[in-house]
Structure 1
Amino acid sequence: MEDVRAKSWVVGITGASGSIYGVRLVETLLSLGYHVDLIITNAGWRVLSEELGWGASQREAVLHEKFAGYEDALTYHPIGDIGATIASGSYRVEGMIIMPCSMGTLSSVAHGTSDNLMGRAADVMMKEGRPLVLVPRETPLHAIHLENMLKLARLGVKIIPAMPAFYFHPQSLDDLVHFLVGKVLDSLRIEHQLYRRWGE
């Protein structure tokens, strides 16, 4: 029997604006048959509440409601659970995406502080040589932001800023969200039909 964990991705959602990106990524991975190990920072929950109207008091109940039908394929890990499965390199996952990624989380990953489960899971990806994708969402950027991104890029981390394109003539906000999620999936060689490619 095939181990379902071999088809697992870790998804992190931080307190950067653009929580819809992370939610749509989780929805897409689940719909494609992957298992998702989900981490949301406390600030991430605040932004989910502000931007999408999600309640933050009963977190697991909210996730069951929002991802109904996929409960068996979604594992939620509280940010403080440093003993979670994904904190160990022996737990088999394909890789990790932090979308959106705040500058604070990006700095933590760049400096290997691992002071919560998000940072530790990202550190595991790097030490195990697994794909790690960060989707920073901040503007304007100052030198420290840029230096941290450069440091991570040189280590093989993929940096995919939340910069939607317009060549495919988006007609809605969903089109722009789908484009960015699709670009992340492209970088991981995951097939999808989220947006119309150049030349199509």
Structure 2
Amino acid sequence: MEVSVRLPGTLRRLETLIAERGLKRSAVLDPADLAARTALPERTVLTLLRGGAAPEDTVNDRVRLRIHTLAQGYLARSGKRMSDLAADISQSLGVSDYWARQVCDGRKMPSVELLHGLVRFFDVEDGEAFFTASADEALNRALLPALHRLERAEQDPVQALLDRYGVSGADLRSHGSISRDQLERVLEGVLRSVLPAEGETHR
């Protein structure tokens, strides 16, 4: 992953591509989605997207907050209770239910070994760095794939059209995941880009 590029540079490049392509900014820089993917508070993501600085914190603060955020997201998606999650972590990591609940509540700091176990349990990318990276580093990591996708699309007019209409390759491969109207608009744009206008000839 392109870790040498800092967040301000990534944001500048994304803003330029968004403007050039006529894309919806919220489709690329969605604070709620980025907050969920980074386990950062949405207000922090908004501040960083606007060029501000995240609140100062310690590594321990980051780890506790991100585990707590992941736990809350897990409960919201699964419909389970905290006691269920604690029991699952207890069984998976070989720790007590009490310890698991304290960690998920953000009240206890896990050891490096147990943090590694939580990486596996929550299936997060970037390993322990997901929990320990500063807010700007975490957000930058989450934005780089979108930046690379848009930069690749500069060399591919069809991909650029798909991006403009918010359609991914996965959408086209998935049955029923793209609406008829959306598909018609994409195909219309593709045809306009490859067929000569009336009165013109192929070059």
Q: TM-score, normalised by structure 2?
A: 0.26
User: Which has the larger helix fraction?
Assistant: 2
Larger Rg: 2
Answer 1 or 2: which has greater strand percent: 1
